[in-house]
């Protein structure tokens, strides 16, 4: 079969992996290590998908790096309990359990492949107090480079610019291969690892409507190959879908289309009634949800002293800086007024409420502690005119949650609760692992690799047993 690149695929494969992100490359490597012949089809001209753009953080329990930093006692059981509680048990326990159990061993597998995780990169990600976030040296880009190096070294074939458009099944719905436009490739098993659907507006409307409430504010930060193809390919052969309206939205004033994760500590956030409703230092994993529950938007309030002194203290705050704030105020994007009451009226808040909120906050700032919301970091008094207010919304789509239902062996489950023979899925295309609250940094990349590896092993075993 001539590939879209002109490469002639003159043979069948045991396992065909759709997508070359963290999940797809892990699946391909583990399938090859299990003795299967493997082909990866990648729709874009570069490997790596959103995984390459990501921080590559890996959320795991019981790792050797945790041990080095003194977290000797973290276990998969503790991780499971935290994960389930955070999501009020509204996730699929068998899939979560498998992720928690294999997060440590799979993390070690990745390190053995050459990915470096230093002790200083271990941190309590998300809402957890236990350091389970692991930051790799070189981020997602380096993880992909290393996995891609193993792919090449192991002689695993890949075709780029090869968008899979259909799964081929026999009369008993057993997987036989895939179509890439007019071309076909045959195989014993398929792993769908096509990532999320943040780049597909239609699917966002139908499967993540919450992300579209903010209208034009919404934008997707991931790779353009994230069109939800896996979800549609799986659904077309009877796969069932879970995780509707789940995902991760980061909060932004919309200054620019750049990643913003944290708010500077010198501002306060108030709701439409003019009162604070959360700590401004709340983890990014929950802040979007907190603002959603306040009607979908909030206002960041600060004063002239804060504006003048505003400097970026991390790359994710690069736009909360003095000259940008001045420019945005001149443009009218940020409202500016000489007293709090006028500012409140200009942005549609109750003046007395905003004044009372600021007075209480200033008293706490004098005492050096946030007695109401326990905000971390320095509290900066809001006293010097002019005063500023700007609307912020959970609008940056970082990751999408709806997708194919799998079991603990990464089999895609059909609507009759049975595995579709020969069809496996891993990564962001899976819909029954994540709940309403993103667990924390590494909570998507980690399971992409865990289930990628499982899917590769299972697909290899399924396909090679068909050859017997």
Ligand X SMILES: Cc1cc2nc3c(=O)[nH]c(=O)nc-3n(C[C@H](O)[C@H](O)[C@H](O)COP(=O)(O)OP(=O)(O)OC[C@H]3O[C@@H](n4cnc5c(N)ncnc54)[C@H](O)[C@@H]3O)c2cc1C
Q: Which of 201, 370, 349, 328 is nearest to 275 (CA)?
A: 349
Query: Using the rule CB under 6 A, which residue among 20, 30, 271, 297 binds ligand X?
Result: 20
Residues in the interface with ligand X (CB under 6 A) total: 46
Of 101-109, 219-227, 354-362, 376-384, the segment contacting ligand X by CB under 6 A is 219-227
Helices 351-367, 340-347: crossing angle, 10 deg rounding:
130
3-class secondary-structure state, position 112: helix
Strands 387-400 and 219-220: parallel
- Using CB under 6 A as the binding rule, whether residue 222 contacts ligand X is answered as yes
> Within 13 Å and on the Cβ side, how many CA atoms surround 464?
14
Least spacing, CB of residue 44 vs ligand X, in Å: 4
Residue indicated by tokens 């012949």: 37
Query: Using the rule CB under 6 A, which residue among 9, 32, 36, 41 binds ligand X?
Result: 41
- Using CB under 6 A as the binding rule, whether residue 442 contacts ligand X is answered as yes
Nearer to ligand X, 53 or 321 (CB): 53
Structure tokens at 119: 């002790």
Helix (H) or strand (E) holding 369: none
Contact predicate 338/386, CB 8 Å: yes
- Using CB under 6 A as the binding rule, whether residue 334 contacts ligand X is answered as no
Contact code string over 56-95 relative to ligand X, x by CB under 6 A: xx--------------------------------------
Nearer to ligand X, 159 or 390 (CB): 159
Query: Using the rule CB under 6 A, which residue among 444, 458, 461, 464 binds ligand X?
Result: 444
Query: Using the rule CB under 6 A, which residue among 126, 239, 419, 443 binds ligand X?
Result: 443
User: Which 138-197 residues touch ligand X, going by CB under 6 A?
Assistant: 140, 163-164, 193-195
Question: At residue 232, what are phi and psi to the nearest 5 degrees?
Answer: -75, -40
Least spacing, CB of residue 377 vs ligand X, in Å: 22
Question: At residue 68, what are phi and psi to the nearest 5 degrees?
Answer: -65, -30
Q: Which value, to the nearest 10 degrees, does the dihedral of the CA atoms of residues 75, 460, 178, 221 take?
A: 20
Of 100-108, 291-299, 308-316, 436-444, the segment contacting ligand X by CB under 6 A is 436-444
Question: At residue 87, what are phi and psi to the nearest 5 degrees?
Answer: -100, 20
- Using CB under 6 A as the binding rule, whether residue 22 contacts ligand X is answered as yes
Question: At residue 52, what are phi and psi to the nearest 5 degrees?
Answer: -65, -30
Least spacing, CB of residue 164 vs ligand X, in Å: 4
User: Which 395-434 residues touch ligand X, going by CB under 6 A?
Assistant: 398-399, 427-429
Of 35-43, 250-258, 278-286, 456-464, the segment contacting ligand X by CB under 6 A is 35-43
Q: How far apart are the first and last CA of the chain?
A: 25
Cis before residue 386, ω within 30 degrees of 0? Answer: yes
Chain residues in the site for ligand X (CB under 6 A): 18-24, 41-44, 48-51, 53-57, 140, 163-164, 193-195, 221-223, 225-227, 229, 259, 398-399, 427-429, 441-446, 448
């Amino acid at each position: 079969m001539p590939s879209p690149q002109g490469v002639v695929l003159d043979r069948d494969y045991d396992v065909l992996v759709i997508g070359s992100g963290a999940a797809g490359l892990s699946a391909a490597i583990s399938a090859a290590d299990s003795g299967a012949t493997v082909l990866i089809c990648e729709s874009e001209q570069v490997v790596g998908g959103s995984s390459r753009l990501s921080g590559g953080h890996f959320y795991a329990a019981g790792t050797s790096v945790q041990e080095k930093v003194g977290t000797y006692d973290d276990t998969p059981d503790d991780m499971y309990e935290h994960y389930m509680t955070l999501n009020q048990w509204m996730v699929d326990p068998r899939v979560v359990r498998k992720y928690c159990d294999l997060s440590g061993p799979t993390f070690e597998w990745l390190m053995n492949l050459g990915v470096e995780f230093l002790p200083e990169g271990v941190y309590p990600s998300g809402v957890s107090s236990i350091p389970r976030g692991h930051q790799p040296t070189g981020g997602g880009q380096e993880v992909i480079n290393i996995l891609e190096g193993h792919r090449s070294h192991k002689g695993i074939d890949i075709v780029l610019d090869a968008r899979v458009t259909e799964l081929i099944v026999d009369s008993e719905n057993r997987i036989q291969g895939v179509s890439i436009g007019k071309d076909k490739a045959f195989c014993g098993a398929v792993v769908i690892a096509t990532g999320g659907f943040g780049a597909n507006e239609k699917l966002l409307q139908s499967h993540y409507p919450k992300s579209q409430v903010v209208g034009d504010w919404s934008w997707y930060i991931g790779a353009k190959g994230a069109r939800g193809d896996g979800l549609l390919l799986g659904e077309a052969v009877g796969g069932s879908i879970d995780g509707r309206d789940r995902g991760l939205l980061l909060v932004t004033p919309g200054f620019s289309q750049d990643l913003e994760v944290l708010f500077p500590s010198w501002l306060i956030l108030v709701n439409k009634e003019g009162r604070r409703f959360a700590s401004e230092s709340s983890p990014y994993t929950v802040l979007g949800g907190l603002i959603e529950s306040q009607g979908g938007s909030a206002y960041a309030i600060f004063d002239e002293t804060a504006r003048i002194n505003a400097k970026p203290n991390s790359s994710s705050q690069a736009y909360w800086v003095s000259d940008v704030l001045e420019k945005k105020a001149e443009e009218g994007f940020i409202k500016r007024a000489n007293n709090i009451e006028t500012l409140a009226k200009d942005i549609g808040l109750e003046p007395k409420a905003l004044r009372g909120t600021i007075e209480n906050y200033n008293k706490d700032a004098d005492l050096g502690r946030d007695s109401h919301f326990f905000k971390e970091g320095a509290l900066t008094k809001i006293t010097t005119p002019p005063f500023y207010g700007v609307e912020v919304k959970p609008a940056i789509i970082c990751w999408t949650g709806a997708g194919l239902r799998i079991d603990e062996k990464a089999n895609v489950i059909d609507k009759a609760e049975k595995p579709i023979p020969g069809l496996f899925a891993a990564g962001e295309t899976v819909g029954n692992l994540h709940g309403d609250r993103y667990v924390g940094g590494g909570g998507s990349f980690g399971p992409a690799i865990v289930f990628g590896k499982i899917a590769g092993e299972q697909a290899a075993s399924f396909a090679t047993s068909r050859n017997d």
